Amino acid sequence: MESGADGGLSEAQLRWILKVRRDRARVFGASLFSDPAWDILLELLAARLAGRDVELADLAYIAPSSTLARWVAALEERGLVRCKGPMRPDRMQVALTSESAALMTSFLSGAPDGAR
């Protein structure tokens, strides 16, 4: 897989990771590998790399709306994501914070913390 222009992670790499995770759930069952927080972070990083905005409703494939809202709130509380706009799933935008994007990129690139 090709890296991004800065030698980091590319959107295509993130899309592949997300596809493998969905395929894994399809083959082995979603309940065995339930990890909504990680899927949310991966999806938001892919969107950031592509320069796309994400609304909460765009993440509906990850979990039921109430579960998704709880996880997004928990991630926001930890400073990993930020939410803006009206508190409606079809309108509220969700994005990684700059700090969490750097952590995700470093982690997924295999670089030790602070090595980039």
Give me the pLDDT at residue 1, please.
38
CATH T-level fold of 11-109: Arc Repressor Mutant, subunit A (1.10.10)
> What does the alpha-carbon distance between residue 12 and residue 87 come to, in Å, rounded to a whole number?
30
pLDDT tens, 22-76?
888 788 877 777 779 999 999 999 999 999 999 999 999 888 888 898 999 999 9
pTM of the shown model: 0.78
> What does the alpha-carbon distance between residue 97 and residue 102 come to, in Å, rounded to a whole number?
9
Q: Name the residue among 96, 15, 12, 110 with its Cα closest to residue 48.
A: 96
96: exposed, middle or buried (C-beta count within 10 Å: 0-12, 13-18, 19+)? buried
Measured over all CA atoms, what is the biggest interatomic distance in the chain, rounded to whole angstroms? 39
Q: Which two tokens stand for residue 23?
A: 């395929």
Q: Name the residue among 32, 37, 22 with its Cα closest to residue 75.
A: 37
Q: Tell me the domain boundaries of the chain.
A: 11-109
